[in-house]
Structures are given as C-alpha cells and as structure tokens.
Structure 1
Amino acid sequence: MKFAVWHLTWRSLLNRRLTALLTVISVALAVALLLGVERLRHDARAGFASTISGTDLVVGARSGPVQLLLYSVFHIGNATNNVSWQSIEGIAALPDVDWVVPIALGDSHRGFRVVGTSTAYFEHYRYGRGHGLEFAAGQPFADIFDAVVGAEVAERFGYRVGQQIIVSHGAGEVSFAHHDDKPFTITGVLARTGTPVDRSVLVSLEGIEAIHVDWVGGARMPGVNIAAEHVRKFDLSPKSVTAALVGLKSRVAVFRVQRQINTWADEPLLAVLPGATLQELWGVIEIAERALLAVSALVVAVGLAGLVAVVIASLGERRRELAILRALGASPGQVFRLLALESAFLGLAGCILGIMLLSATVLVVGPWLEASYGLPLSAGWPTPAEWRLLGAVLAVALLASLVPGWRAYRYSLADGMTIRI
C-alpha cells in the first residue's frame, strides 16, 4: 500500500493538537525574541545614525570625540568646558565655513534639556535623509523670552502655543533652583522627528543670558532681583556656548577645517565628524549588542530543545501506533520521515508565528517606544539580517528533527507490539 507521509504527519499533529500548539508557541516566543533583538539593534543603530545629517563638523571644548557627540547632539552627559564666543565668531569667519549653529546647554525644564541656540538651528538642522525641522504649530522664537518645544515635551505636558513655562537651573532630573521670575512663552511646537530634538526646549542664546543676569556661580546673587522687563537693558550677547554645529561650503575641505579648529590658537578645541564618531560609538557598545543577541540565540536553542523533548517523550506512547504503521507496510525510512516531518513542521510553524508575533508587538509597542525613548521601530517584512537568522533557526530545527526520527527508526515491529508490564 502507498504510505502517505504528509497526510499522516498532518493527522498526527491534529490528534495531538494541544501539545503541538504549546510547542509551536514556545518556539514562536523564542523566535520573536531573537528577531526582536535584531530589529531593535538595527533600528537603534539607524536611529542614532540619522539623528544628525547635513552637519559636517561638531565643535566643542577639547575632550573625547564620543563625549562631545553625546552631550552636543544626544544631550547625554555634560561638557568639560565651554567655547568662547570669540572662537565661534572666528570659526564662522573661516573661508570654507558656510554656517555655524551655536548650542548652549546647562538648564532644563521638568527633566528635559533646554537648548540655547539661534534661529539658524531651524534652518540648518537636518536628520534622517536630509529632513528639516517642521512645526506642528506656531513658529520659531523671535523674542528673548520665546521658546519652542519638541513634540515629546508638548505631548508629555499638554503644551500649546501661548503657554508659559519655567526654566530650571542645571541639567538634572530634579532641580531646586528655578528661573521663575523670567518665564518663557511657547511660540512653536515642533513636529515629531524621532531624535533628541523631540525631548528639547529651544530658546535663544539671549534668553539664556537673560535668565542668568542676576546669577553668579550657579546661584542667584543675594539681594539682587532684576525683573524680566528690565533685563533687556543689559548686554545679552553670549559670552560662551557649549558646542557648535558647522556646515561647510564644500565637503572636500572638511579635513582642512577640522585641522584648523583642532589647532586653534586661542583655546583648546575639538572638531569631530559626526558619521565617523557614530561608528566609534557603536564600536564601544558592540560587545553588549553581541551579548544580547547571544542570549536570544540561547533562548531559541532552549525552545528547539523543548520541541525535540516533546516529540521524543511522545514516542513512548506512540510505539504501538508506529508498529501498526510498520505492519501496514511502512518502511523504517518512512517512519523516520514521519517523525522528522512532524518536528520540522512544528519548527516552521513556530518561525512563522514568531514573525507574526513580532510584527504585532512592533505595531502595538512601537509608538510607545518612539514617544518615550525616541526609538522608531520599523514594522514590515524581516530585513536581510533577520532572514539569515530565520534560516539559521530553520536549519537547526531541521537538524533537531532528526533526533526523534532516528529514535523512531530504531523501534522494531516486535518492540512496538510487545506489551510491557
């Protein structure tokens, strides 16, 4: 008689559908975790790389390149020193420099960084593939006490154009020194970018100077309180800034300008290329990436081991079934293929369900991750790297399926028909 292996495999799985379903779910969870870690790693790297584009150099006080990039672009950490305004004007006057966007850090608003800058920030800042900043409402700041808030800041606190906000001294999560005598008025809300700009409050450099007119050494001067309406009489030209974004007329001159800034005579400065420094940053955390991926691979191995264990454990109950198949004319090779196909099918179903589970999770959790951490996750077909991981999982599942198949192959007809007491 003709032995229909595919049909019997399907019927056998249906007969044990609860066990098969639990096995598929365990494999799917492991596969979803593995692909999720790879998706998170890939999208995090792409998000970091697209945080700033179109900027040729980032300039700051001499320190480490990664540290400079972290505090100036990602607003992580603090600068070792400031850059004098005379140096910023000197850099802007270099023949190869097209534009300079100064950045002053050091204050915060309810845990979010306050960035002092010029209106050139809205014109020259680029992210992703050359996307510029867009306003969801309002317009750039025009007055000393105007402010523009990022999308996440506005969403977190429900800010709208026309509301007033208080800036706190210091960049910590909690501040006990507030510039409450000089509030800022929101004139614009930026559209979401998926970059640290979403978590920033942008004000003018003159505004930063204005709120510190009656402050010395990080504290308010005793007995001195200059009202907001009187502060305009003072010279509010910036004395120093934290860093600067520099754009060149031609990228051919980038190394020449970088050398000029790094050998600046007036003060020790550092100019870094954002793209090259990002690669250095990822080199630092590559070990952690690989460790996380290795842990996910171990979870998949445990899931596949559970699959093999379930199929092997069921062989003791199926000896009579297999013996009857042998008696009906099934060869040992056909019995081997029957058990191997069952395991391979469970592994394949687990991979497919894992992809579906990952896609559903990204659709549900993705917006929250982007809103909370500025980490956009792409929902779609697996990337080439994820397909390679899936291929590796299927290959291991196929190899694992040979174990129960070989055990079934070794069962003889007499062993299967023997009643053990």
Structure 2
Amino acid sequence: MKTMILLAWQSLLNRRATALLTILTVAISTTLLLGVEKVRTQTKASFAQTISDTDLIVGARSGQVNLLLYSIFRIGNATNNIDWKTYQTLSEQKNVKWTIPISLGDSHQGFRVIGTNQDYFRHYRYGSKQPLSFSQGEMFHGLFETVIGSEVARKLGYQLGDKIIIAHGISDKAFTRHDNLPFVVTGILAPTGTPVDRSVHVSLGAIEAIHVGWGTGTRLTNASQIGALDQQYFEPKQITAVLVGLNSKIHTFALQRFINNFPDEPLSAIMPGVALHELWGMMSVAEQALMVVSVFVVIAGLLGMLSSLLTSLNERRREMAILRATGARPGWIAGLLFLEASVLTLTGIVTGMGLLYSGLWLCHDWLLETFGLFLPFSPPSIYEWILMGLILSAGMLTSLIPALRAYHFSLADGMTIRI
C-alpha cells in the first residue's frame, strides 16, 4: 500500500498541470454547490426571521399573505385602512403588551415611507429577536425628522442632517412631492438584511401634517405654519396596519378571534410565522431550482474530472504496460488509478471549502450591505458534511470507469502503442 501511495504521488507530480486543473474543477464545483446551498438556506432563514417576537399583525380584512407583504415586506397596497379609534381599542386590550402602528402610502425615490411612532424602534425585532440599532444618530423626535434604513443611506448617499422630500403615493414625480415640508435625517439604522434597510421612517404626526389640505389645494406651504394649527390636525385618522406583542403567547388565538370578529370594522389578524411559512411555500419552485442548479454544477465538475482521467489514461498506456511488465497485477494498476482520482477529489473538496470560507470572510460585510444577505462565518453544518461526503463518493465512483479500463489493458496493448 505504501508503494502504491508513493507511486500515485509521483504520478500526480509528473502530471501536475493536469492534476491542478482537475483539482480546480472539483474545487469550483464544491464551492458553487456549498455556496448556493448556503445562500438557499440562509435566504430561507433570513426570510423566516424578517420579523420575530411579534405575535400578531392586524390590518383590514384581507388574505394573510397580502397583509404580510404590504405590512412587513412593503410590497403591494392595503385593501383598506384601519380607523385610529380601532387601533386605540386594540392597544387597550388587557393581554396586549405593546403595539406598533404603521401608516403606508408615501415614498421617497423608490423607497417606501413608513409612518410610525417611537415604539417601532423599541419593540421591532428581526432575526433571533434582535432589536433595531443605529449606526448613526438617533430616533426622530421632531415632527419633520426621519430615520432611514442602511440601504437608503448607502444608495442615495445621505448623511445626518441632510434634507429629503417625501412624495405622495408610490411614484415619485415632481407634482406628487411634498417639497414644501422637507424632512431632516436624524438617524441611520444599522443593516438588518430585512425590508427595514429599504425604508424611510417618519412619525405618524408628520404623515398627517404633510397631507393637511392635500385634497383641497390648501396644503401647508412651510413648516412655520405648523405652530398655528391645533394638535388635533396631527393625530392620525387612519393607519394601515398594527404589529402586536402580547404578555403571553397563550392569549394569541383568543385575541386573533376577537380581532377577526371585530364588530366595528372588518379586520384580519395573522400570525407572522404561519404567514411566512405559507409565503415561502409559494416560492418553493425557486428553492428547488437552486438545488437543481447545484446538483448539475457538481455533475459538470465530475464529468470534467472523468474526461481528464480518461484522456490521461490513454497517454499513460505505455506506463501501465511497463508496470505490468515489472509484475504489477491488473487489480493493483486499477487501484492506483482509483487512489489518484480519490486524492484529486478530496484535494478539490478541501480547496473548494477553503475558497468558500475565504470568500465568506472577505465578502461578509459587503454582501450584507449590498444585498442584505447575511451569511454567517460558521463551521460546516452536518448537512454540508453530508454534501461533501456525497461529492467524494461520487468522485470515487466516477474514478472506477478509468480504473476498470486500466484493469482490462493487456501487456501487448501497452507495448504496441504507436507514438
């Protein structure tokens, strides 16, 4: 066995250019497979952890996926709004610990504007119950102050103290902008990998103020007019949705039934986890497509290795004949080729793992800030070890083809090759 290992090593050194290309092929296949798998699993995990520690989301009567999309992912629009008195009634329920009102409908250069209050920054959780944090500044206090997400700040180049103009509706056109009442950036949130990064947050009072007289053409022309108005102008009349946290999860179903049967207006209360699971199930085709791509990448890599081995085998037929002539048995020669291919596969897997984790270490912050994709720098999971074992097994099985061919080479065939 020691002689076979030494001979295999010397053979690989003599064909180092071909061996390196084979290792690189397997390494790239391994990197892509594990990389795509990490993206797939972490995307699913991040998707499921877009919101956490919130027991119910309440909105106008609608399907739970639609309610989840517009309230959390800022996609689409609400079927209707919720009366402010209804929100106050919900907040006063004895089992309710906290509530976060949300008002949607405005935008800023393609980013959704979220009207809310300071409870949003105190109670909103994502991931594993992680709170929102500020990379710069603090939460808004004044009427025309705003807190922006990390992606808004990065793409639009905003800094603390900059002024921004909010537009009425989703399309940001000149005639829809509230350019008479600019907002000052007082805080920039740290990246979360969630839709929070792509949101502009203002107070509920500010949402009311910029729409005073909007429908009649008597809107405010500047912020100095605010002091002349009674504060009742700035109490919301309606909001879009409510995030609810309870004192105990035991009361979740009871409160959900109460809200779904609310007598004053038609409402829907959904549990975020259930709605997220349903939404991900609708996108399972994309998840399966990623898996198929991963598998075909590995197959392509193994076929490349097989092609390389078969090509080199034809070039080594005289070498095999000499080994036979010196007493090597056909099974020994087949074992030699099997060992060489196994070493190449194993080395390629190790190299691929090194490439993957080096890339994760170097690009971790960039991926989070650019794509909002959080890929933790953690040891391989059991599933990833299984995948690497499958790649090694597939590589060893692939090597049986050239090994069996070498087994059937005869001494006469090797000695009569024309060069």
TM class by smaller structure? over 0.9
**2:222 maps to which residue?**
227
Establish whether residue 177 from structure 1 lines up as the match of residue 176 from structure 2: yes
Could you tell me how far 1:377 is from its partner in structure 2? 1.2
Establish whether residue 283 from structure 1 lines up as the match of residue 278 from structure 2: no
Kindly report which structure 2 residues correspond to 1:94-113, keeping only aligned pairs within 5 A, or say none. 94-113=93-112
Establish whether residue 319 from structure 1 lines up as the match of residue 314 from structure 2: no
Secondary structure, aligned partner of 1:162: coil
CA, structure 1 residues 172+343, in 2 after alignment: closer, same or farther (shift >3 Å)? farther
CA distance in 2, matches of 1:280, 1:330: 62
**1:213 maps to which residue?**
212
**2:349 maps to which residue?**
351
Aligned length: 416
Could you tell me how far 1:332 is from its partner in structure 2? 1.0
CA distance in 1, matches of 2:156, 2:130: 26
Larger CA deviation: 278-287 vs 394-403: 278-287
Contact 2:191 2:368 in 1 (8 A): no
CA deviations over 1:311-356 (Å, ceiling 9, x no partner):
1122222111001111112111110111111111111122112112
CA distance in 2, matches of 1:383, 1:405: 33
Could you tell me how far 1:3 is from its partner in structure 2? 7.5
Could you tell me how far 1:239 is from its partner in structure 2? 1.2
Secondary structure, aligned partner of 1:180: coil
CA deviations over 1:118-171 (Å, ceiling 9, x no partner):
111111111222222222332221121111122222233333332221112222
Q: Which amino acid aligns with 2:297?
A: V
CA distance in 2, matches of 1:362, 1:196: 23
Larger CA deviation: 392-401 vs 137-146: 137-146
Could you tell me how far 1:384 is from its partner in structure 2? 2.0
Let me know the Cα RMSD of the aligned residues: 1.9
CA distance in 2, matches of 1:57, 1:224: 36
Could you tell me how far 1:82 is from its partner in structure 2? 1.5
**1:333 maps to which residue?**
331
Contact 1:168 1:179 in 2 (8 A): yes
**1:130 maps to which residue?**
129
CA distance in 2, matches of 1:173, 1:332: 76
Larger CA deviation: 154-163 vs 288-297: 154-163
**2:84 maps to which residue?**
85
CA, structure 1 residues 173+398, in 2 after alignment: closer, same or farther (shift >3 Å)? farther
**2:139 maps to which residue?**
140
CA distance in 1, matches of 2:333, 2:204: 78
Secondary structure, aligned partner of 2:115: strand
Kindly report which structure 2 residues correspond to 1:4-403, keeping only aligned pairs within 5 A, or say none. 4-172=3-171, 177-216=176-215, 221-222=216-217, 225-232=220-227, 233-234=229-230, 235-403=233-401
CA distance in 2, matches of 1:41, 1:31: 15
CA distance in 2, matches of 1:223, 1:196: 34
Contact 2:342 2:399 in 1 (8 A): yes
TM-score, normalised to structure 1, is 0.94
CA distance in 1, matches of 2:400, 2:317: 17
Could you tell me how far 1:10 is from its partner in structure 2? 1.1
Could you tell me how far 1:194 is from its partner in structure 2? 2.6
CA distance in 1, matches of 2:125, 2:173: 30
Contact 1:169 1:175 in 2 (8 A): no
CA distance in 1, matches of 2:415, 2:13: 24
Q: Which amino acid aligns with 1:312?
A: L
Secondary structure, aligned partner of 1:266: coil
Larger CA deviation: 199-208 vs 86-95: 86-95
Could you tell me how far 1:249 is from its partner in structure 2? 1.4
CA, structure 1 residues 374+269, in 2 after alignment: closer, same or farther (shift >3 Å)? same
Contact 2:64 2:275 in 1 (8 A): yes
Q: Which amino acid aligns with 2:76?
A: G
CA distance in 2, matches of 1:166, 1:15: 68
CA, structure 1 residues 330+172, in 2 after alignment: closer, same or farther (shift >3 Å)? farther
Contact 1:117 1:203 in 2 (8 A): yes
5+ long unaligned stretches in structure 1: none
CA distance in 2, matches of 1:353, 1:173: 49
Larger CA deviation: 301-310 vs 356-365: 356-365
CA distance in 2, matches of 1:137, 1:279: 34
CA distance in 1, matches of 2:220, 2:74: 30
CA deviations over 1:257-289 (Å, ceiling 9, x no partner):
011111111222111111122111221112221
Could you tell me how far 1:223 is from its partner in structure 2? 6.6
CA distance in 2, matches of 1:224, 1:195: 34
5+ long unaligned stretches in structure 2: none
TM-score, normalised to structure 2, is 0.94
Secondary structure, aligned partner of 2:160: coil
Could you tell me how far 1:173 is from its partner in structure 2? 6.8
CA, structure 1 residues 223+107, in 2 after alignment: closer, same or farther (shift >3 Å)? closer
Could you tell me how far 1:49 is from its partner in structure 2? 2.2
CA distance in 2, matches of 1:28, 1:369: 22
CA deviations over 1:344-396 (Å, ceiling 9, x no partner):
11111221121122223323443232112211112232222222211111111
CA distance in 1, matches of 2:398, 2:7: 20
CA distance in 2, matches of 1:20, 1:241: 65
Could you tell me how far 1:416 is from its partner in structure 2? 1.0
Segments of 4+ moved more than 4 angstroms: 172-176, 221-225
The percent identity for this pair of structures is 51
